[in-house]
Amino acid sequence: MASNATLSPSDLDVLNTTLNGTSAQNPTSPLSYFISSFLLLDAKLFIVALAIIYLGSHGALRRPPSAAPPRGKKDGEKDDAADDSDRFSQGLELSDAVLLPVMAGLTLIGMYYLIQWLQNPALLNKVLRYYMTSVSIVSALTLYAHTMDMATSLLFPTYWRGSDGTLRKVDQKARAVALCDATGNDGAAAAANPLPGWLALLAPTERLRKAAWELRAVVFQRWELDFFARGVGEAKTQLRFSHAAALLLSVGTALVYFSTESASLSNLLAYGMCYGSFLLLTPTNFLIGSLVLWGLFFYDIVMVFYTPYMITVATTLDVPIKLTFQTGMGKSMLGLGDIIIPGMMIGWALRLDLWMHYVRKIKYESKTLILVEKDPVSSQIVERTETKHIEIKAPYVDVKSKWGDDFWSRGVLFLSRPQQLPPHLAGALFAKVYFHAAMAGYALGMAVTVAVLRISRHGQPALLYLVPGVLGAMLVTAVARGELKDLWRYTEDGSLDTMDVVVDLDGDGNLVKTVGALENGVVDTTQDKEKEAEKKKSKEEEGKALRRQVFVLSLEAVE
């Protein structure tokens, strides 16, 4: 599962159900009961669950295997996409479809009997609260950092459209704002204020504008952290101002929550755990994701309807493994498993959309190559020259951290999007067909969950409605669009991430089969892929062994 302590089986499904309780006091009228008990509570759960899945799915976007690594920028700037877009999440395996429900069930049963034995759950709550608070700091840090990055992009966008409809581009090095055409080509200088649109009113004087430029430089400055310890390993990452500020906020949130037991802070830490889980977990492919969801689907039904374990543990433990909303008329809870499990699949659907977007951009270039292959009759290695097609992938354009540019570059009232945009923005736009279908399926499943909950007045296994909604929406969409083969083909195990691949095409230009990888103008189809991978790994280990440093810790500013 996750290499990070953000998520464990007990955290995932110890409260994988939706509960509702109302106070003994009856509402003064049916209308007031409907407003306070349904609209306020259920609408909060509904909106918050959809929002955290939406943000987490976009935060988990990375370079798809159908796109080439991004090219270096002309002015020497480094694209953020090169930092983390190539890092694939820890993928689930087929065995997890069995292990997850079994481990979650054993953990839940163990917690139930531990509660029965202790009688007073105060000590258990304190221990679990300390543990969950500690491990949620990293997740909260990620959520805070990405939220700050979003706010920064809205406050200091690279592109924005002026009141005259003309596009403007910010040059941080020159500390100037220049007019540009629809494709982003620079023109005459327009202003010296880095704040867009009506936000420019916040810096009317030269002194305030200078302060705004300084603040912009600070929030966009990147530092490269390099850590190496012999016998431990090496790690390199890039840090920004948002990471430092988020670290302080996450630690502060954890300390205040542990001291006050605030329900709002508990929800905030739970948001962070959901968000961090989306960045770490992937179902790998549709088959594994479906089996995992169906396994937890049956687990949820059994534990809620046929045993006292789920509801007892859910109502007894007071730790950030659930979202809790309360008004004077009642209380509603939603387990994090009901967000993380389907949300993991919805995030995969968004990355599927991005992969298919770049698949449509793949071009094939005809070239004469030398083929090395084994003769099927004599079993001898032979060489021959043949014209084949090379797969050319489009370079990846980072789709993250574009919230501000997309918002401020829109037309009147920020509603319409111009047909022509700079490559920096146009490359980040893609059709989100499967993502929207999966979100609609989740929303429908959540609505049915709430409706049944209100009618039956009994805790409901939300996955009973969410799993068919999400998976059904994706399957129906794939069948309707004739893309079922692509839905099953896409995987995040790294096998699709290849370069310079030689392929065979049919008469219509469609891919028939993959011949092999091109190296120095030669395609050797006789090589053993496993042996080549082992040889490459051994060379990397030899290179690490030759490194003489014992311990390195450095922090350098990146221009």
- Give mean pLDDT, residues 263-280: 89
Q: Residues 11-56: pLDDT tens digits?
A: 444 334 444 444 344 445 655 655 555 667 778 888 999 999 999 9
The Cα 364–Cα 251 span in angstroms is 51
Same domain, 325 and 344: yes
- Per the CB < 8 A criterion, the answer to whether 388 and 369 are in contact is yes
What pLDDT, on a 0 to 100 scale, did the predictor assign at position 516?
A: 57
Same domain, 48 and 90: yes
How many structural domains is the chain composed of? 2
Of the candidates 69, 181, 79, 152, the one whose C-alpha atom is nearest the C-alpha of residue 403 is 152
Same domain, 436 and 459: yes
Which of these three, 455, 472, 489, is where a domain ends?
A: 489
- List C-alpha distances in Å: 215 to 127, 194, 495: 42, 10, 43
DSSP letter string over 178-242?
EEE-TT--EEEEEES--S-GGGGGG--SHHHHHHHHHHHHHHH-EEEEEEEETTTEEEEEEEEHH
Q: Residues 358-373: pLDDT tens digits?
A: 999 888 777 766 666 6
Query: Is residue 408 one of the residues assigned to a domain?
Result: yes
> Which two structure tokens, joined as six digits, stand for 434?
């499967």
Return the minimum-mean-pLDDT range out of 203-212, 409-418, 464-473, 486-495.
Answer: 409-418
Which of these three, 458, 489, 520, is where a domain ends?
A: 489
Same domain, 530 and 553: yes
What pLDDT, on a 0 to 100 scale, did the predictor assign at position 352?
A: 96
Q: Residues 64-101: pLDDT tens digits?
A: 998 888 765 443 344 444 444 455 456 788 888 888 88
Same domain, 550 and 426: no
Average of per-residue pLDDT values in the chain: 77
Q: Which residue has the higher pLDDT, 114 or 501?
A: 114
Same domain, 517 and 410: no
Same domain, 340 and 474: yes
What pLDDT, on a 0 to 100 scale, did the predictor assign at position 8?
A: 39
Same domain, 376 and 406: no
Confidence class for position 476, pLDDT limits 50, 70, 90 = very high
What pLDDT, on a 0 to 100 scale, did the predictor assign at position 9?
A: 39
Of the candidates 271, 273, 156, the one whose C-alpha atom is nearest the C-alpha of residue 215 is 156
pLDDT at 130 over 90: no
Same domain, 130 and 99: yes
Query: Is residue 29 one of the residues assigned to a domain?
Result: no
**Angle in degrees, 0-180, between the axes of helices 40-59 and 337-359, rounded to the nearest 10:** 40
What pLDDT, on a 0 to 100 scale, did the predictor assign at position 521?
A: 52
- Per the CB < 8 A criterion, the answer to whether 219 and 205 are in contact is no
Of the candidates 28, 53, 31, the one whose C-alpha atom is nearest the C-alpha of residue 40 is 31
Task: Identify the domain containing residue 217 by its residue range.
Answer: 9-24+37-64+86-229+240-363+393-489
Same domain, 279 and 377: no
Q: Which residue has the higher pLDDT, 191 or 149?
A: 149
pLDDT at 235 over 80: no
User: Cα dihedral angle (16, 18, 24, 26), rounded to 10 degrees?
Assistant: 170
Which of these three, 471, 489, 507, is where a domain ends?
A: 489
Other Cβ atoms less than 10 A from the Cβ of 470: the count is 30
